[in-house]
Amino acid sequence: MMDQIRVEQPWILYADCEVNYNGRATSNLERGNLLIIHKSDGTLLIQGGTLCTPRNYQPPQAIMHKIGNKLISKRKNETICIFIYEIIYYKELSDWSIKKIDIHKTEKDLRDYIVNNIEEILGFKPIELFTEFNTPVGSVDVLAIDRHNTYHIIEVKRGKISIVGCTQLERYSNYFIDIMKNVRDYLIAPEISTNALNYVKEMKQTYLEIDHVSDS
Amino acid sequence: MMDQIRVEQPWILYADCEVNYNGRATSNLERGNLLIIHKSDGTLLIQGGTLCTPRNYQPPQAIMHKIGNKLISKRKNETICIFIYEIIYYKELSDWSIKKIDIHKTEKDLRDYIVNNIEEILGFKPIELFTEFNTPVGSVDVLAIDRHNTYHIIEVKRGKISIVGCTQLERYSNYFIDIMKNVRDYLIAPEISTNALNYVKEMKQTYLEIDHVSDS
DNA sequence: GTATTAATCTCGCTT
DNA sequence: AAGCGAGGTTAATAC
């Protein structure tokens, strides 16, 4: 029954099976019909009949073995064991596209817009301007220094700001305060949660609402 | 050519196609052979020949339409349009298992272990003990109050603690300080990053190394 | 390798 | 519906 399965090939398999995983966590998936996807880079996906997220998976570089009625995928300290009761459908996929997707309107796009319009957004012309400025506590999205040597620290979010974004900014801010810099803190995003807005006010951060940039 | 595709059914489709997405972001995926998965809950996955993550997707509750050579999936303000050049394989999947997976050794398991062994971990017997204690700035994993009315705030991580975990704890800590409580801050995890460990020391947080609990 | 962050994050839970 | 956090997060990027 298992003869047709070639563990070194990309394929899809629809099978009555049961899956066990052991690694960072441990899991069991009860017997049933599941869609198993095997890619040429070692990726393994086990998809159930609902939800986006695979029931089980292995990221790239996993190695698959076939032992009797079992498919075993190993990767570092993570192992998936699929016990096959019945193969319903097996198909090898040829010439599977490996092209990457091209995504726009990301955080980087918004950051680029901010950098290109920094003067009107902040209301002054910085004497120095950095993006992805590295500190020991993470990298600052945009850092603008004015002629009074005040550090304007900008955290950018493409979507709604939650309280986590505020503390991220706070952490960068504290770093610059520790090294004796004067700072001003900004959050720039199209939206903010109510709790985050309270936090912003309390921490004297400045929230600027800027919507997604249209495609250029 | 498109006659066989039934948009209300769960199926897999291997096709030469090109995909455009518009919603929170915008994306284009160049023409090539791609695996398209359609589930009964509306989930749509477009898988390329590498990586775990789908090239494009729609979470549950998306609605699919067929217009000429195009498959269009809509969900709130998000639309995926698949232009089909050629159908290579099409297969409807029957009796697709919707069973959920059962995962162990999660953060909750570690938290339960901590609660059950709180006395030996903290070195005292709390007069009050909470899990998932809600505050306006998030919910505290474990909160133990001692007889001197000091609040022992515990942040639990199943994996390695990064600096983000430290600021999460700090946020809870500041909340209790603001409402005039005496606090002690703990991070419990099997591992911690070096930057996070520096932060822990600076913020006078206590890091306790506790490994995953074995299966019970 | 380690460390950090974005993500069309997804998903579940709680208010 | 909104907000928040875990996740076997994955994937990309910087060091």
Cβ–Cβ below 8 Å for B167 and A170:
yes
pTM for the whole structure? 0.93
CA distance A124 to chain B (A): 30
Separation between Cα atoms, residue A138 and residue A202, nearest integer Å: 23
Separation between Cα atoms, residue B131 and residue B100, nearest integer Å: 25
**pLDDT-based confidence at B216, cuts 50/70/90?**
very low
**pLDDT-based confidence at B215, cuts 50/70/90?**
very low
**pLDDT-based confidence at A214, cuts 50/70/90?**
low
Cβ–Cβ below 8 Å for B167 and A163:
no
DSSP-assigned states of every residue in B27-96:
EEEEEEEEEEEE-TTS-EEEE-SS-SS-SEEE-TT-EEEEETTEEEEEETTEEEEEEEEEEEEEEE--SB
Cβ–Cβ below 8 Å for A137 and B195:
yes
Separation between Cα atoms, residue A204 and residue A198, nearest integer Å: 10
Give which of A172, A201, A169 is closest to A187, Cα–Cα. Answer: A169
pLDDT computed for residue A198 by the predictor = 95
Query: Which two three-digit tokens encode residue B23?
Result: 């919603």
Separation between Cα atoms, residue A130 and residue B203, nearest integer Å: 28
Torsion of CA A30, A32, A35, A37, to 10 degrees: 40
CA–C1' distance B112–C13 (Å)? 18
Rounded average pLDDT over A161-166: 95
Separation between Cα atoms, residue B113 and residue B212, nearest integer Å: 9
Nucleotide nearest to B27 (CA to C1'): C8
Name chain B contacts of A101, Cβ cutoff 8 Å.
27-29, 48, 55-56
Separation between Cα atoms, residue A38 and residue B87, nearest integer Å: 20
Best of B35, B36, B89, B140 to mutate (most A CBs within 10 Å, chain A): B35
CB atoms within 10 A of CB B214: 10
pLDDT computed for residue B214 by the predictor = 55
CA distance B142 to chain A (A): 19
Minimal Cβ distance to A32: which of B32, B37, B97: B97
CB atoms within 10 A of CB B27: 18
Minimal Cβ distance to B33: which of A34, A37, A96: A96
Rounded average pLDDT over B109-134: 94
Name chain B contacts of A14, Cβ cutoff 8 Å.
12, 91, 93
Residues 121-140 of B with CB under 8 A from A: 136-138
Rounded average pLDDT over B24-32: 97
Q: What tens digit of pLDDT does each residue of A92-143 get?
A: 999 999 999 999 999 999 999 999 999 999 999 999 999 999 998 899 999 9
Separation between Cα atoms, residue B166 and residue B35, nearest integer Å: 41
Which sign does the torsion angle of CA B106, B112, B113, B114 carry?
A: positive
| pLDDT at A215 > cutoff 60 | no
Separation between Cα atoms, residue B67 and residue A204, nearest integer Å: 52
Contact between A205 and A166 under an 8 Å Cβ cutoff? The reply is: yes
Return phi, psi of residue B121, to 5°: -75, -45
pLDDT computed for residue B138 by the predictor = 87
**pLDDT-based confidence at A216, cuts 50/70/90?**
very low
Q: What tens digit of pLDDT does each residue of B138-183 get?
A: 899 999 999 999 999 999 999 999 999 999 999 999 999 999 999 9
| pLDDT at B208 > cutoff 80 | yes
Mean pLDDT computed over every residue of chain A: 95
Separation between Cα atoms, residue B161 and residue B190, nearest integer Å: 8
